[in-house]
Amino acid sequence: MVTQTRRSGRRLAAPIASLVFVAAFVAACAASQTGVTTQAFAGLTSTPTPTNGAVTAVLPGATTTPGTTLTVSGPALTLQDQFVAVIKQVTPSVVVIETDTGLGSGIIYDSKGDIVTNAHVVGTATSFKVTLSNGKSYTGTLVGSYPPDDVAVVHITATGLVPATFGDSSALSVGDFVLAMGNPLGLQSSVTEGIVSALGRQVSEPTGNALPDAIQTSAAINPGNSGGALVDLNGQVVGIPTLEATDPQLGGAAVGIGFAISSNRAKIVADQLIATGKVTNSGRAYMGVQLRDGTNGPFIVAVTAGGPAATAGIAVGDIVLSVDGTPTPDSQTLIELVAAHHPGDVIKIQVQHQSGTDSTFSLTLGQLPS
């Protein structure tokens, strides 16, 4: 089980020339998810803008030493050229999204001015400052937001926009090179590189949402990267960087473990938001209960009339002990187990009634409403 806490970083923002930072290659992470926490990067907390740029660096004095000149050639040069080409292609499609409380990133989705980002980037705001890679800024308005999948769409009125190409995330393989493009720490148009470490991860956000189809990557994801682009070497967006894992023992970031919402999932949600402003076909499983953690497990405090749980016979006061034989010690575990299913799936739920007796119900999952 992967849980998480949300953290905001300081915003170092000022008008900054585009920066491309290619991080050191990090080996694929095959570690177990047990005990790992993640943090969602919403907008960075705003602070007064520095007068002379956002980052101050002190460089040591340089000394001249004899050395051998190395010439890069062959496959290494080809890979480097591909990185450069992809960055040049995608950079015009990645934007900065600012609210009154912070900033994040976004991806130009179409030439009409629709921009895909994370729901936690827009938060409760309905108006935004959107800055393109060329430095031009526009007022953005909220088209729609779907927190269960952490996807939102913002709209701007502008000409000459360069939409990104959204690829098929199901075609990814573990080991594929990817680039994370966004505005970490307010540094516009920054890039980090890594590989796809795992596919189909289920991770939880601080709000309790469970993302069932996340891409794990070793590309560094920092505050402000949220809502940006995870891009393959064909220049196609395959994910939206959203979360960074944290080490619960050290209390800091777990280097080389980040998560992105798959492009296929993002497209399903974005298309519906653009068409109607809401999601009517989520494809997400739904029990129809409200939960609170108790000493013996998740305690049902409300049951939606006519919903799947009510139809199965589950009642207020029941404690959910297991799903398909898997213990549910807390509500987050239950949410994740349900999120791993699809509407129409039948699950076995063992509950303890207020009387102290146990029962097992067959529950046909519904579809998560808008």
Nearest to 199 by CA among 176, 231, 174: 174
The answer to whether residue 73 is catalytic is no
Which H/E stretch holds residue 331? helix 331-339
Angle at 291 between CA 286 and CA 293, to 5 degrees: 135
For residue 362, which amino acid is it?
Answer: S
How far the first Cα of the chain sits from its last, in Å, is 26
Query: Helix or strand or coil: residue 78?
Result: helix
DSSP 19-42: ----PPP-PPP----TT-EEEE--
Which residues are within 8 A (CB) of 18 and not within 5 positions of it... i.e. 6 or more apart?
Answer: 91, 133, 188, 189
Q: Do residues 120 and 151 touch, judged by C-beta distance below 8 A?
A: no
Which residues are within 8 A (CB) of 370 and not within 5 positions of it... i.e. 6 or more apart?
Answer: 146, 278, 279, 280, 282
For residue 187, which amino acid is it?
Answer: L
The CA distance from 40 to 17, in Å, is 26
**Catalytic-role residue among 114, 149, 150, 213:** 150
236 phi and psi angles, rounded to 5 deg: -100, 140
Structure-derived torsion over alpha carbons of residues 214, 332, 245, 47, reported in degrees to the nearest 10: 100
For residue 226, which amino acid is it?
Answer: S
The answer to whether residue 355 is catalytic is no
Residue 231 CB coordination number (10 Å): 30
CB-based burial label for 88 (10 Å; 0-12, 13-18, 19+): exposed
Q: Which residue is it, tokens 């309905």?
A: 126
**Catalytic-role residue among 114, 120, 190, 263:** 120
Beta pairing class for 37-40 and 3-4: parallel
The answer to whether residue 120 is catalytic is yes
**Catalytic-role residue among 105, 133, 145, 226:** 226
The CA distance from 71 to 158, in Å, is 44
Q: Do residues 251 and 184 touch, judged by C-beta distance below 8 A?
A: no
> So which residues are the catalytic ones?
120, 150, 226
